[in-house]
A and B are shown apart, each in its own frame.
Chain A
Amino acid sequence: MAQKGDLLLQMKGVQKRFGGAIALRGTDLSIRAGEIHALLGENGAGKSTMLKILAGVHVNDGGTISIGDKPFTTGSPQASIEQGIAVIYQEPSLFLDLTLAENVFIGRQPMKGVAIDWAQAQSEAARLFAELGVPLDPKRQARGLSIADQQVVEIAKALSMNANIILMDEPTAALSASEVERLMTVMKSLKAANKAVIFVSHRLDEVFAISDYITVMRDGATVSENPVGGTDLQKVIKEMVGRELTELFPKTENKIGDVALEIKDLTNPAYFRNISFTVRHGEIVALAGLVGSGRSEVARAIFGIDKYTTGSVKVNGKDLAKGSPVAAMAEKIALVPEDRRQQGLFMIASVNRNISMESFDRIKGKIFLNFKKERALTEIWREKLSIKYEAQSNPVESLSGGNQQKTVLAKWLATDPDILIVDEPTRGIDVGTKAEVHKLINAAAGEGKAVLMISSELPEVLGMADRIIIMREGHKVAELSRLEATQEKVIAAATTGSKGA
């Protein structure tokens, strides 16, 4: 058993590149027993890459990692587990059909002779749950367990493996306030047992409430490592952001017209409550907030994919029927979803079929579809968006991520929408293509379309939007104009719910 303060993990100058992209350019991290260590940084700063290296999913290209006084052996999740590292991913990976006891001990079930000793497994699991202060029933199925309780099971699993270092990737992202409270209690008990907890979080209020050390990362490198008393909210936010907004966001001044989309008191009690805002023609409104704050759910409800219980959606002053994407499309609303592979594209279908998918009216002959028109339509959008592909008939899955994203955009722009909703339009695409996508969205607004943009990337939100609506835990906590908005204000509202920073 490690003593409090013993150095458990040390990373020095760790590097990692994926093809041409540098994910980590020299990261340092020291973790001691009995310490809660927060890892902060914007999206793409390299936090996840670092956790994945420790989890054994990726192998670092350079730098040294040591566990205690031994060098760290990378290579497989199994190897990391054996070195006492347990990872709790943002989405817990439990076996929902199995009992909690079984989830804790899967692959390591206690045996009695030739048979698994279920009584032992259950009492041991019950003991671990009690130790964590969450008395779950070990005989219960994991299905139907809240995300918070699933995390507790994952933590119990980590304890049962005798892990000394417990990594948590945004453990609080999907939790409600009371659940966060409970998770913090669990983290404190881990600390008391002289384990080291490393956690990634974007909720800075929590970070300051619980951690002993704060490491800030930016652009693949460690910016600072301080005990929690040696830094403050302002400083951390500055370190996270750290750079000037570049010319990435070619904001053009568009003529702003009448209200196109009016949302009033929209509520779906499981995800969001009393959301009201408007989007005008020619205006770009950003919906900002943390993952899990209910932004995408609002968009889905507007477009009619999900139902909402109360409230109303008005398009150009007319009520929009709820729960009907067909009605939404008839009112010329387009939704470019967050997950293009699962929801935005038919990956094995050709480029032209994907682009024309929602525009059959435009390519219809008298009776049959006119494929010549389909090819012409695709050609128009290839030029407008400079999509790169070898042939129109190639499957979309053969395109690069950026070109796939442009294809989804083309598909919806081809419907000539009045209202364009884009959910994380630049996730997972490179900087150059990002700028192009931003230009497209600006151009759409310039044509008088109303644009609602959901984004987790602050520079994007600040650079593109005329107005910013910030959500936190299903509530609208702030609405800032382009002039009022600063990175600090948006982060403060999204993480603590407070307006000033």
Chain B
Amino acid sequence: MNFLSRFKPSSREGSLGLILIVTIAITGIINPRFLTGDGTRDLFTSTAVVALLAIGMAPIIIMRHIDLSVASTVGLTAWFIADLCAKHPEFTWVQCFIIGPIIGMVVGVINGLLVAGLRLPSLVVTLGTLYIVRGAVYVISNSVDYNAQEMPPSLLDLGQKVYFGIMPFTFLLVIFAMLITAWFMKYRKAGRDCYAIGSNPHAADLVGIKVFRRTFLAFVFSGAMSGLAGVFYLMRFAQVDSTAFYGQELAVVAAAVIGGVTIAGGSGTTVGATIGALLVQTIQGGLAAIGVDAFWKSAINGLLLIVAIYADRTLARKSENALLAQRIKERA
């Protein structure tokens, strides 16, 4: 027991990582193809978009807000870039990587001004922009679709690029994004302010935290990541229409929450959010690999979410009970 407890992960991300490895191992035992280079690469490729969005969303959820407009923004960016590339054949991946985040940031600025500036509830504001942005895609696209032949070959090549046989270029960028944001959230004052704001908004005002600036910038950041995710979407699917990534915003929220980003704000990390996205994808892929009908996909996702919330609540109750016990002892 003592020996085992030495390996007990101390942090939440450690536990999640452990769960992820166990899940991968079980799936691998049932279906060995899952553990091959191809299988792992597929896992990373298919997780990249959601993972990137979850990294962008994590600071917002930590601040007790939410951004539901991300999937629509992915659709908008993906279609817009494809359209630009079709009209400008000279464009390469470089332009795509610049334009994508800029488009996303425009949506982020609108969200940020409404939420931080007017102090409107983010759930409603971003639900609004979810519909507005998607509506804009329908109108602008005018039912035009784009396929691989209209897109820059350099971009598609990059989408196919794999390092060490297992690590796709897109997921490598996800890891970079994860590490940089994780560092920022832990070692910069602005990052710590996010946790403080989500933990106790009233006290955040009392200690003089710049609540407007932090909230606004978090939404702009989420927008930028959504824009980049739009580029990733093109790299993965090499085709886009006005319904691209429709309805996937809640999958992003689910990934973050499963990864330990508390919906009530104040705790969570981008590392957790990324692992959460991987875990969802692994379980999906694993179930497919052992022959479970794809119709079960949503139901399993939902179950996972509830289990994650339950685990959260159980931990919270544990500390509440400890507090009560201490109180009883002191009053005795």
A positions within 8 Å CB-CB of B: 76-78, 81, 93-98, 102, 106-107, 109, 114-116, 118, 143-144, 146, 176, 178-179, 269-271, 273, 473-474
On whether A97 and B195 interact (CB within 8 A), knowing A178-B330, A270-B327, the answer reads yes
Known contacts A95-B199, A106-B192; A81 and B187 CB within 8 A of each other: no
* A78 surroundings in chain B (CB, below 8 A): 208
Asked whether, in the complex, the Cβ of B207 is within 8 Å of the Cβ of A107, the reply is: yes
Cβ A270 vs Cβ B202 within 8 A:
no
| Chain A nearest Cβ from B75, distance in angstroms | 34
In the complex, residue of chain A having the shortest beta-carbon distance to the beta carbon of B264: A97
B330 to chain A, nearest CB (A): 5
A81 to B211, CA, bound (A): 18
**Cα of A176 to Cα of B331 in the assembled complex, Å:** 6
| CA gap between A263 and B207 in the complex, in Å | 45
Name the A residues within 8 Å of B322 (CB-CB): 144
Q: How far is the CB of A25 from chain B (nearest CB, A)?
A: 28
A143 and B319 within 8 A (CB)? yes
Q: How far is it, in angstroms, between the C-alpha of A63 and the C-alpha of B84 when the chains are bound? A: 67
Q: Say yes or no: A115-B187 contact (C-beta < 8 A), given A94-B203, A107-B209, A269-B328.
A: yes
Is B326 interfacial (CB 8 A cutoff)?
yes
Distance to closest chain B CB from A166 (angstroms): 16
B328 cross-chain contacts in A, Cβ below 8 A: 269-270
Contacts A107-B193, A144-B323, A146-B323 known; A97 to B207 CB distance under 8 Å? no
B198 within 8 A of A: yes
B residues lining the A interface (CB < 8 Å): 183, 186-189, 192-193, 195-196, 198-200, 202-204, 206-209, 262, 265-267, 319-320, 322-324, 326-328, 330-332
Assess the A81–B188 pair: CB atoms within 8 A: no
State the CA gap A107–B196 with chains docked (Å): 10
Return the contact of A93 from the options B183, B206, B262, B319 (Cβ within 8 A): B206
* Bound Cα distance A115, B186 (Å): 9
Q: Do B188 and A77 touch (CB < 8 A)?
A: no
Residues A270 and B208 in contact, CB atoms below 8 Å apart: no
| B266 and A97 within 8 A (CB) | yes
B203:A95 contact, CB within 8 angstroms: yes
Contact assessment for A102 and B192 in the assembled complex, using a CB-CB cutoff below 8 Å: yes
A–B Cβ pairs within 8 angstroms, 11 of them:
A95-B200, A96-B199, A97-B195, A106-B192, A107-B209, A114-B187, A116-B189, A146-B327, A178-B330, A270-B328, A474-B331
* Apart from the given pairs A93-B202, A95-B204, 19 other A-B contacts in the complex at a CB distance below 8 Å: A76-B208, A77-B206, A93-B200, A93-B207, A94-B203, A95-B200, A97-B266, A97-B267, A98-B195, A106-B193, A107-B207, A107-B209, A114-B188, A116-B188, A144-B323, A146-B323, A146-B330, A270-B327, A273-B331
Query: Is there contact, CB below 8 Å, between A109 and B192?
Result: yes
Tell me which residues across on chain A come within 8 A of B207, comparing CB atoms.
Answer: 77, 93, 106-107
Q: With A270-B328, A473-B331 as given contacts, are A96 and B187 in contact (CB-CB < 8 Å)? A: no
A115 proximity list for chain B (CB < 8 A): 183, 187-188
Q: How far is the CB of B198 from chain A (nearest CB, A)?
A: 7
Contacts of B266 in A (CB 8 A): 95-98
Residues in A neighbouring B204, C-beta threshold 8 A: 95
- B186: which A residues are within 8 A, CB to CB? 116
Q: Closest Cβ of chain B: how far from A275's Cβ, in Å?
A: 13
B188 touches A98 (CB 8 A): no
The answer on a CB contact under 8 Å between B208 and A81 is: yes
Set of chain B residues within 8 Å of A474, measured between Cβ atoms: 331
Residues from chain A with Cβ under 8 Å of B267 in the complex: 97
A86 vs chain B, min Cβ distance (A): 11
**Which chain B residue shows the least CB distance to A141?**
B319
Q: A107 CA to B204 CA in the complex, in Å?
A: 10
A473 to B331, CA, bound (A): 8
| B323 and A116 form a contact (CB under 8 A) | no
Complexed CA–CA distance, A91 and B83 (Å): 57
Which single residue of chain A is at the shortest CB-CB distance from B62? A97
The smallest beta-carbon distance between B60 and chain A, in angstroms, is 16
User: Which residues of chain B are within 8 angstroms of A93 by Cβ–Cβ distance?
Assistant: 200, 202-203, 206-207
